Structure 1
Amino acid sequence: MASVIKIYALFLGSALLMFGGGLQGLLLSVRGAEENFSLLSLGLIGTGWSVGFVAGSIAVPMIVRKVGHIRAFSVMAAIGTVTILLNLLWINDVGWIVLRALSGFCFAGAAMIVESWLNEVADNRSRGTIFSIYVTINMAASTLGQIAMSVTGTAGYLPFVLGAISFICAVLPTALTSSPQPRPLASAKLDLRLLYRTSPVAAIAAFSCGMANGSFGTLAPVYGYEQGLDAGGIAFLFAVAAILGAIAQIPFGRLSDRIDRRWVLIGLAGAASVIGLLLVLINPTAGWLMYVFFAAYGFVANPLYAVAVAHANDFAKDGEFARVAGGMLLILGVGLAIGPAVSSMLMGTFGPVALFMVTALFHALLAGFAYLRMRMRNAPDAADRAPFQPMGTDKQVTPETIVLDPRADSDSGPSNEPSSQAERSDVQERAI
């Protein structure tokens, strides 16, 4: 019973964290546009988040080893709360870029610490269920955070204070726990040679998804604002894309279990590229057509990264899944950092619709590369592949998420059943 209560308390802490993160991310893009920040500044706000998130994935495990999980989490939550309040008090484009990087750093650290506690209470029998519930809660809470902006609006102090309350309340489940602290956190490390040798398609998919999704997540709210949507309209626009994207993971994931996953990647990326081109050509103003396009885009673009991770896992050897997925995570982070900056410059030259030139280009690159690789390498037999596993959005995946993923169980060796705490610790230390 105590373990069950602890798990649900951690789910609550994660939900509060994701709620605040979803609200803050959308709020800053729209409020920045209302404050007449330049497009480049708005893009760099997204870049700052990604740089901070990757830095946190690398550095926070060292902080935790020095001061412990509870203290480290409290520091991350406190600094995250201060940053969103400073966004309100210091409305300046350069200041927001710096604060957004700090926020990304703290968000990565806080999420990793919550996930490390979930890793501690999960065993191989419950890991899949815990991971699925965790991913579902994260996506739902992040979407609710975005929808909250339709209620709070972007003016005044209310949305910033609501986000700050959410961040600081997330500390309560870990601060009140009486259980022993988890083992050390996994730290993200980049093994490009192993990743590319295992799956060139996965490496290209990670970068392409980062470029496209980083651009879309940061600058699509600006596009909506420029096309005449108010704060509520933008919030629901993103909610539709996020909800359909989450739903789409199941059917497309199951389809990829039955056929060569590269065909699924080609179909999804090709469809996302076509939708991007249609948005460029039609450039719809506020209205039902924009919602249709964004819904369709979310439906085909959001599952891409999860399918790419599953494809990489098909070719990973025993003990390599977490290292391969960790390499994909850092390549994704590079794309998430570069994409908004590049897209913002193109939007400044060609107008807001240039955002979808970028998404169309990189989705087309992924589809084309996956097709070429199909002509060079056969897919493994369906019986030899691990089942598809839904994942959170690209901004919700940390090295600890990868360790929690039930597919990482294979990293413990042929038995897939680490029999002791020491063995499970060794799995995590080798993971990423």
Structure 2
Amino acid sequence: MSSPSAADLARDDTSEIDPEGRAPVDAAQGPAARTHGSSPPLLARLVPLLIAAALLLGANGLAMTVVAVRGREVGLSDTVIGLFGSAYYAGFIVAVLLAPLLIRRVGHIRVFAALASMSAMSVLLLLVSEPWVSWAVLRFASGAAFCGTAMVLESWLNTLASNSERGRILSVYRIVDLGAVTGFQFLLPAFGAGGMEILVVIGLLFCAALIPVSLSRENNPPKQSPGRINYLALWRISPVAAVGVLTIGLTNGAFRTVGPVYAQAVGLDAEGLALLISLWVLAGALFQYPLGWASDRTDRRFVLIVATVGAGTACLFLSGATLPAAIYVGGFLFGGFALPLYSLSAAHANDHARAGQYVELAAGLTLFFALGAMTGPLLASLVMDRFGPGAFFVYTATLHLAFVGFVLMRLAKRSAVPADRRKRFVWLLRTSPMIFRLARSGRGAGRDRPR
């Protein structure tokens, strides 16, 4: 399966062409070499992009919750709401294939403006369209627009960062994501899901993301030459990583889009739903560090097994939980063990990748996750429709424990990566393939020594 991709924009080139046609410069020298000291400090250049990212990530996270809650309030079945989640992640796949073509044609700024506007429209049109078919189309458009805008921002951040600054920029970007997604959830109880106000607020947030990018003094980043990659190369590099991110899509993707339906079904109000989602995200951030630390010092597959068993056990606990306090504790533990699985799987694949395979690795991670996330919400909603809300977590527990079995099988077939070849664990966001390139420390990333 070969096609131009988002990863084309993140190729491990040794030089970049200045947008005004000046001579190539070494990418490892960072922005200072490209600007000859004439541009503002790096912080001033990053602030507009990070403000736009906060608005974009927060608004999108809130929209995912609101659409599920609103669908239930207008009487849609769990299966139809699950279909909305599947349509949203199908848009991711389209964005990965088409957004790079648009960026090469008209540049980052115009593509960001067009897709951010498309995000706002896809939310506001929910007010004037009839469920359910039109809503599914709008969620597809929303998924494509969000992934495309994330690709623009992340590739842009990558061009601004020198190798020595890349890790710090990624850390700030993760903090922005965590703060925006958790904080914006509490706009739901503030405005409610049933009226038009919350959708208008989300649309305004998407529109506001246009302002810092449009008024930034930055020019479009250099355009990269097109290339063709094999999206299925991830399976050859690491079957464990491929099945891991597929499982994460089937489970975490389902929770993010259908979880609000579960929360309402077990009696949580808007404040309780916002708290549950926030605890899930926050725990995922907190657990990244100890699990990542452990995975740098042993066979990552052992850590994958521990985290997956933890996620499956939390799901089994949630399947029978009825009291709000128990649901919050279970949601916290589920997020803590389940969310780091994507980064652990990516790190394991990175250990096995050779020089020149990182572009295909980034694209494959996004593809396998999107395939799982496109299928997971619909499957989970069908289970909930048939067996009740508690069955949602029986579904997720079953998938997690099946992944444990697969990893155990692979332990017998492939030896562990030697410690001196093990790359450093990095916490990744599931936004676009660009985040993988941003997380790598330039051309030398493939030779990072373990922490």
Instruction: Mark yes or no: TM-score above 0.5.
Output: yes
* Distance across 2 between alignment mates of 1:302 and 1:407: 23
Tell me the alpha carbon deviations over residues 304-358 of structure 1, each in whole angstroms, 9 at most, x when there is no partner: 1101100111111112123113212101100000011111112111112221122
In the TM superposition, what is the alpha-carbon distance from 1:58 to its structure 2 partner? 1.3
* Distance across 2 between alignment mates of 1:378 and 1:414: 20
> Which residue is equivalent to 2:181?
142
> Which residue is equivalent to 1:376?
413
* Distance across 2 between alignment mates of 1:72 and 1:245: 31
Taking structure 1 as reference, are residues 64 and 299 closer, same or farther at Cα in structure 2, changes over 3 Å only? same
In the TM superposition, what is the alpha-carbon distance from 1:179 to its structure 2 partner? 2.7
Q: Which of 373, 379, 386 matches 2:423?
A: 386
Give the letter aligned to residue 254 of structure 2: S
Taking structure 1 as reference, are residues 340 and 202 closer, same or farther at Cα in structure 2, changes over 3 Å only? same
> Which residue is equivalent to 2:367?
330
- C-alpha contact 2:45 2:218 (8 A) present in aligned 1: no
- C-alpha contact 1:190 1:327 (8 A) present in aligned 2: no
In the TM superposition, what is the alpha-carbon distance from 1:148 to its structure 2 partner? 2.1
* Distance across 1 between alignment mates of 2:385 and 2:347: 37
Tell me the alpha carbon deviations over residues 146-197 of structure 1, each in whole angstroms, 9 at most, x when there is no partner: 2221222212122111111110111122211233211237999773653222
1:21-420 to structure 2, matched below 5 A, reads: 21-184=60-223, 191=230, 194-280=233-319, 282=320, 284-392=321-429, 394=430, 397-407=431-441, 409-410=443-444
Give the alignment's Cα RMSD to 1 decimal.
2.1
* Distance across 2 between alignment mates of 1:193 and 1:105: 20
Give the letter aligned to residue 318 of structure 2: L
Higher helix residue share: 1
Taking structure 1 as reference, are residues 343 and 149 closer, same or farther at Cα in structure 2, changes over 3 Å only? same
Segment of structure 1 superposing worse, 353-362 or 187-196:
187-196
Taking structure 1 as reference, are residues 336 and 190 closer, same or farther at Cα in structure 2, changes over 3 Å only? farther
Gaps of 5+ in 1: 416-432
In the TM superposition, what is the alpha-carbon distance from 1:91 to its structure 2 partner? 4.7
* Distance across 2 between alignment mates of 1:225 and 1:330: 31
* Distance across 2 between alignment mates of 1:342 and 1:198: 28
State the identity as a percent. Answer: 35
In the TM superposition, what is the alpha-carbon distance from 1:277 to its structure 2 partner? 2.2
* TM-score normalised by length of structure 1: 0.90
Give the letter aligned to residue 399 of structure 1: P
- C-alpha contact 2:55 2:208 (8 A) present in aligned 1: yes
* Distance across 2 between alignment mates of 1:195 and 1:246: 25
Taking structure 1 as reference, are residues 367 and 187 closer, same or farther at Cα in structure 2, changes over 3 Å only? farther
Aligned length: 410
Q: Secondary structure at the match of 2:101?
A: helix
* Distance across 2 between alignment mates of 1:297 and 1:182: 39
Tell me the alpha carbon deviations over residues 80-103 of structure 1, each in whole angstroms, 9 at most, x when there is no partner: 111111112325122211101101
* Distance across 2 between alignment mates of 1:189 and 1:95: 34
- C-alpha contact 2:247 2:372 (8 A) present in aligned 1: yes
Give the letter aligned to residue 186 of structure 2: I
Give the letter aligned to residue 363 of structure 1: H
Q: Secondary structure at the match of 2:410?
A: helix
- C-alpha contact 1:244 1:298 (8 A) present in aligned 2: yes
Q: Secondary structure at the match of 2:185?
A: helix
Q: Which of 34, 43, 47 matches 1:8?
A: 47
* Distance across 2 between alignment mates of 1:409 and 1:61: 22
* Distance across 1 between alignment mates of 2:315 and 2:376: 15
Taking structure 1 as reference, are residues 144 and 366 closer, same or farther at Cα in structure 2, changes over 3 Å only? same
- C-alpha contact 1:268 1:304 (8 A) present in aligned 2: yes
Give the letter aligned to residue 114 of structure 2: V
- C-alpha contact 1:111 1:398 (8 A) present in aligned 2: yes
Tell me the alpha carbon deviations over residues 229-282 of structure 1, each in whole angstroms, 9 at most, x when there is no partner: 1111111111111101111111110110011110111011112112222333x2
